[in-house]
């Protein structure tokens, strides 16, 4: 196996923090065009964590059918939600990384924070190359997925492991598996709903839509569906909702396999047909607004609900760079970096090996 040359280390060991948080999200095409969407979809749908079919069976379908027709349709959807700065998911992920580093710095932690994408750019491997070149010795891999799934969290770990195969001297890694029941995360979600209610009035029903996965993943031991239900239950409890005031559904189905139920589309049809007056909809499993929240839920979901007979449909944005969410994220990062020397020094780097950081209060 050919190995890449090791990056040159900085001349001053304290010039930069030697601990980093890699904030990993799913990714997005570089532009809302079929040309840009095609390689992004090819990478995403070639991940065997995402499509668990033998490559010999799946790749002819992907290359011969899906990548010929889907990019143009997806590009039109991306164009409907694209921001002047670019993809919403990438814009929010970058802002979250900046805010997280600023908050950790204000608490005395010399920690680099970089966002990275599992698919597309900035790629996880490229970010790790840059961090290693800057002398980073410890990396906390923090996925943007509160609920663990082999299709998401494990795929991020795969990408880190793929990069590691070509590196002789590896940094120390830690991985955050999930934070679906973290009190700070639940509080941030609850406060976002309460702010929505204060500004718009309280809806008759709160629908929590999570990204779907094939039903067979749960039978194979994936905890995702249970963690989604746990998050929803904790949020409903925090908001003091009765059982009749909230629902859970699963969106973004793909292919012919049986997926988690009930589907968001079916629930929207049902609630609209029942004449629900005001429906509040949120996506607690997404920490950044993206195609699946802004186009599929906020736009298509509204059309589905209204066409079925529903009246008022209100989408509650994701946490994005909400201050309470960044505070919760910082607490999660601090907890998982426990024991690592992250205290800031006069030279601007971390305290070096052997230093014991003082406990931080949230």
Count of other CB atoms within 10 angstroms of residue 345? 14
Q: Is the peptide bond before 213 cis (omega within 30 degrees of 0)?
A: no
Q: Which residues pair with 279 in a beta bridge?
A: 205, 313
Q: What angle in degrees, to the nearest 10, is found between the helix axes of 323-336 and 183-200?
A: 180
- Give the Å distances, CA to CA, from 138 to 135, 163, 341, 342: 9, 15, 10, 10
**Tokens, residue 71:** 């990019």
Helix (H) or strand (E) holding 172: strand 172-175
Known binding residue 109? Answer is: no
What is the C-alpha to C-alpha distance for residues 264 and 207, in angstroms, rounded to an integer? 9
With the C-alpha atoms ordered 346, 349, 352, 357, is the resulting torsion angle positive or negative?
A: positive
Residue 217: C-alpha distances to residues 81, 153, 157, 175, 229 (Å): 30, 14, 18, 21, 15
- Phi, psi torsion values for 343, nearest 5 degrees: -65, 140
Other Cβ atoms within 10 Å of 3 Cβ, number: 9
By the 8 A CB rule, do 28 and 37 touch? Answer: no
Binding residues for Fe(2+): 211, 292
As annotated, the binding site includes 211, 292
């Amino acid at each position: 196996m050919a190995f890449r040359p090791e990056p040159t280390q900085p001349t001053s060991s304290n010039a930069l923090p030697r601990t980093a948080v890699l904030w990993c999200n799913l990714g997005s095409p570089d532009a809302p065009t079929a040309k840009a969407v095609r390689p992004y979809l090819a990478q995403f749908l070639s991940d065997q964590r995402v499509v668990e079919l033998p490559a010999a069976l799946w790749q002819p379908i992907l290359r011969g059918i899906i990548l010929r027709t889907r990019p143009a349709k997806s590009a039109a959807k991306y164009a409907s939600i694209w921001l002047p700065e670019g993809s919403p998911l990438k814009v929010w992920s970058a802002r979250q990384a900046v805010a997280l580093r600023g908050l950790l710095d204000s608490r005395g932690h010399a920690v680099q924070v970089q966002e990275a994408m599992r698919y597309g750019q900035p790629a996880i491997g490229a970010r790790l190359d840059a961090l290693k070149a800057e002398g980073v010795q410890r990396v906390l891999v923090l996925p943007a997925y509160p609920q663990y799934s082999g299709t998401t969290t494990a795929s991020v770990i795969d990408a880190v492991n793929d990069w590691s195969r070509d590196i002789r001297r590896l940094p120390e890694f830690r991985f955050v598996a999930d934070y679906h029941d973290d009190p700070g995360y639940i509080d941030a979600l609850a406060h976002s709903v309460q702010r929505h209610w204060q500004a718009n009035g309280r809806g008759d029903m709160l629908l929590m839509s999570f990204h779907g996965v094939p039903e067979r993943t749960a039978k194979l031991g994936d905890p995702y569906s249970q963690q989604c239900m746990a998050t929803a239950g904790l949020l409903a409890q925090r908001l003091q909702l009765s059982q009749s005031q909230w629902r859970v559904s699963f969106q973004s189905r793909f292919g012919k396999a049986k997926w988690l139920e009930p589907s968001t589309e079916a629930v929207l049809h049902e609630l609209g047909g029942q004449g629900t007056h005001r429906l509040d909809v949120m996506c607690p499993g997404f920490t950044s607004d993206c195609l699946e929240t802004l186009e599929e839920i906020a736009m298509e979901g509204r059309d589905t609900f209204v066409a079925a007979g529903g009246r008022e449909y209100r989408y509650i944005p994701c946490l994005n760079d909400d201050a309470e969410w960044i505070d919760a994220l910082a607490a999660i990062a601090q907890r998982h970096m426990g024991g690592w020397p992250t205290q800031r020094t006069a030279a601007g780097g971390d305290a070096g090996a052997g230093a014991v950081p003082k406990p931080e209060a949230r």
